[in-house]
Structure 1
Amino acid sequence: MGRIDELRRSRQGFVVGLTAASVGIISGYDLSSTAGALLYLTDGFRLTTHQQELVITVVVIGEIAGALGGAVLANAIGRKTSMVLVVTAYAVFAVLSAISTSVTMLLVVRLLVGVAIGVSLVVVPVYIAESAPAAIRGSVLVAYQVATVLGIIAGYLVAYLLASWQNWRAMLGLAAVPAVLVLLLLRRLSGTARWYMLKGRVREARHALQRIEPDTDVENELAEISRAVEEERGGALTEMLRSPYRRAMIFVLGLGFLSQATGINAIVCYSPRLFEAMHFTGNFALLVLPALVQVIALAAVFVAMDLVDRLGRRPILLSGIAMMLAANLLLIWVFVVPSAGAVPTTFGFLAVLVFTIGYNLGFGALICVYAGESLPSRLRSIGSGAMLAADRVANALVAAVFLTMLHALGAGTFALFGLLAAGSFAFVYRLAPETKGRQLEDIRHFWENGGKPGAEPVIALSGSRQ
């Protein structure tokens, strides 16, 4: 109850948490509602397999563009203003998606939806990290991740409720409802002290800190923020391309790419089509079973939260990837057996469940942890941005070809994902540092000392602050 009491004592922190959760629900809802709508808009617009893939892929392409411009926008107009702009745009684009009259219009609007989501992927975590009181910051950030999964669940359930009418327009358009609710919450928020300091607006920065954490030493905190801002200005991409941080750059890029290349969004975005291919039938099987998978897999996030600071990052991540590999082997078997006349649908559902649990336990729970812990502060924003870009590129590639691969290769699709999971296991085992219990700035010594896999980061004699 300790964290709940702290949350209650900070009204502003509570509002930040609600806002973060709401925005996470929006992006999660978009994933699953589109997956459900695809079952029916395919017939409405007579979409080919390639066009179905485009409906999913253009969103991810938009996310890449939005993510690349998100940091620039947030620094230029502020975190709160950026969030207001993003959520307003998302509500408008959700309605436009619902009233699309042609494939071309739908694709253009879905691209714009992706841009809005991409900006939110950058701006919202930054706003939370800079605004939430230190005592509840970690909980609020995790709440944002959990809310994304809750949004996925909600999207599938709404799609199921509307499936009898085959109303894909309502499935997409209802995303505007949570967006409007988020706007109401955003009106109560202020800018962040860090952005005000970035702009040299010290008085407003002081006021923002006093609102969030009235008991803190405001002047000392402002001095710390000022030092951090100056240090981050010293970071450069070229530094990450040279020793000793070249190895760190390879790690963050590889981790971001593999987290999506191993196929999680193929499972989320195309679950109804995947379940169809495994001979499931009926709206309940195609829309509620994917939601049930997410409900059970959500528990894996909480398990990771409980274990990550006790067992460490590497064991949790490696265990999750191993589960994904095992699930792919089971899916290969499921798609081979039908040739002999038996369709083991129960094992197909089990395989999708194990895969999703493994992802949420490993990549899903820990990629943000490694994004924040793998690099010194002056390179952290660059590294996190590079990881996100690699993540979205892999996502786009998978979204663009999954249905085609599933139709053409069947079991071979999961053989490929299995090979990528095996490669991911080797990659993480070879390169991932164990950052449990280490101060953030001490992690740099891991890379400076050759980045030996599994080795403890060397502690600087003078120590460092987190």
Structure 2
Amino acid sequence: MHKKGLQYVYRCTYVAAVGGLLFGYDTAVISGAIGFITDKYTLSPAQTGWIASCALIGCVIGAMLAGPVSDAIGRKKVLVFSAVAFAVSSLGILVPWGLSAFVLFRLIGGIGIGIASMIAPLYISELAPAAIRGRLVSIYQMGIVCGILTVYFVNAGIAGLHTAEWNIDTGWRWMFGSGLLPSILFLVLLIIVPESPRWLAGRERLLEAGTILDRINGAAKAKEELQAIRDDLSTKENNFADLLSPAMRKRLLIGIILAIFSQVTGMNAILYYAPEIFKSTGDGASSAMLQTVLIGIINLLFTLVAIRYADQWGRRKLLLIGSGGMALCLAIIGTVFYYKAVGSYLILVAILAYIACFAVSLGPMTFVVVSEIFPTAMRGKAMSVCIFFLWAAVYLVSQTFPMLQAAIGEAPTFWIYMSMSVLCYVFVWKMVPETKGKTLEEIGASLKQ
């Protein structure tokens, strides 16, 4: 692959990864605002839970709509729609309307998150050369992690501007409103990137598709790849019912179960409730917040490790290493809570090691594998279904973690997540194929066997 082609595909990848940054930013902004919203509107615990999680309903809707809509009008146009949804949500919450309006605009923002979570990795995978596709799709996960870290600091900066009373009345709106800036940046950057060449080929816009592939891979390779794409598109499968056909069933099962495992192994429980977990170990609130930022930093550093080794070690190996390491760390966390040895630094080390294992495996590799295993004609719809289940699992974990804590205690709760990690290891070992170094069409052909 020539140097200019490599620069071009990286530029397109980084633009798409801004969608991941918005995903992380808009998902995590609630963490700094929820306390002020609760005080302003005197919310009950049930109302607080709804306000904190209402965006997830939008995520589920966005994920399900993104696939068929992107098949109809193109990947790039749907990414533009997600940027608009982020901007409308940020601006709408910035305006001092009531709580019902807040829920409405959070739902709109959630639709943007759901769309970005599905279309951005799909777009990158359809543009990326086989040799570096794992690295490029993993950059999308880095965007998510950077968005989460960025909004932690933005929230802290806004909260420190004025008094607590100002934060309760106005400050939290500025936290959400700050998302308008990266939304506009995303819209502007999308101007410079092309449509997916595989989507163009599916619409018989072969000259445009060939021009993009030529720019990435050179003329000879582009011609060969375009022919492989056309052969792959010759499948008659192109609607949701065809996902249950014999040729698609195994792929759909792999995609759905891997997406579910990426959440039911407990990552979001730790991300969303980290300060409360650390406070339950006896640490003060300020120390707990500092440790939470440390989680974000570890998450970013080990996502960079995944980017470095995704195409060298392979997706399957990283998933096995990560899920096995997560199981061990969760066993240690549960045991520390069981023996009430929570004053030691062992639990912090175990949680950080768990985050590191997730960041090199299930975090980025779920998006990589799910974006690779489906044929071009079905990729949008199939990924919509997989990401729908991912968001449903996010909602399940975020709602049940505090309930499990109250009902059975911390130790059994973390042992449940440990059991899920063990099951994930077995599933990857038995079912998930290695896809490194293969074109999307070669992966599809191997899964038909």
Question: Which TM class, normalised by the smaller chain length?
Answer: 0.7 to 0.9
Report the TM-score when normalising by structure 1. Answer: 0.81
For this pair of structures, how many residues does the alignment match?
A: 440
Percent identity between matched residues is 28
Q: SS at the partner of 2:305?
A: helix
Query: Which residue in the other structure is 1:274 paired with?
Result: 277
Establish whether residue 358 from structure 1 lines up as the match of residue 373 from structure 2: no
1:25-424 correspondence to structure 2 within 5 Å: 25-99=21-95, 101-131=97-127, 138-164=134-160, 165=162, 166=167, 167-205=171-209, 208-209=212-213, 215=219, 222-231=226-235, 233-234=236-237, 241=244, 243=246, 246-283=249-286, 285-309=287-311, 311-338=313-340, 343-344=342-343, 346-374=345-373, 380-411=379-410, 412-424=412-424
Gaps of 5+ in 2: none
Kindly indicate whether structure 1 or structure 2 has the higher relative contact order, using CA contacts under 8 Å at least 6 residues apart: 2
CA distance 1:211–1:154, shift in 2 (3 Å): same
Contact persistence 1:194–1:205 (CA under 8 A):
yes
Contact persistence 2:330–2:418 (CA under 8 A):
yes
Gaps of 5+ in 1: 450-466
Report the TM-score when normalising by structure 2. Answer: 0.84
Contact persistence 2:89–2:108 (CA under 8 A):
yes
Task: Give the Å deviation of 1:192.
Answer: 3.6
Task: Give the Å deviation of 1:87.
Answer: 0.6
1:215-243 deviation per Cα after TM superposition (whole angstroms, max 9, x unaligned): 55665554444333333x43565565465
Inter-partner Cα distance in structure 1 for 2:198 and 2:439: 21
1:86-130 deviation per Cα after TM superposition (whole angstroms, max 9, x unaligned): 212211201223445443332222111110111122222333334
CA distance 1:348–1:138, shift in 2 (3 Å): closer
1:70-95 deviation per Cα after TM superposition (whole angstroms, max 9, x unaligned): 12222333322222222122112012
CA distance 1:329–1:252, shift in 2 (3 Å): same
Query: Which residue in the other structure is 1:464 paired with?
Result: none
Q: SS at the partner of 1:191?
A: coil
Inter-partner Cα distance in structure 1 for 2:107 and 2:7: 36
CA distance 1:417–1:49, shift in 2 (3 Å): farther
Inter-partner Cα distance in structure 2 for 1:287 and 1:121: 27
Contact persistence 2:137–2:368 (CA under 8 A):
no
Inter-partner Cα distance in structure 2 for 1:446 and 1:128: 21
Which one has the bigger helix percentage? 2
Q: SS at the partner of 1:80?
A: helix
RMSD: 3.4
Task: Give the Å deviation of 1:145.
Answer: 1.7
CA distance 1:12–1:302, shift in 2 (3 Å): closer
Contact persistence 1:63–1:392 (CA under 8 A):
yes
Inter-partner Cα distance in structure 2 for 1:13 and 1:241: 33
Q: SS at the partner of 1:160?
A: helix
Inter-partner Cα distance in structure 2 for 1:441 and 1:208: 17
Contact persistence 1:193–1:208 (CA under 8 A):
yes
Inter-partner Cα distance in structure 2 for 1:428 and 1:222: 31
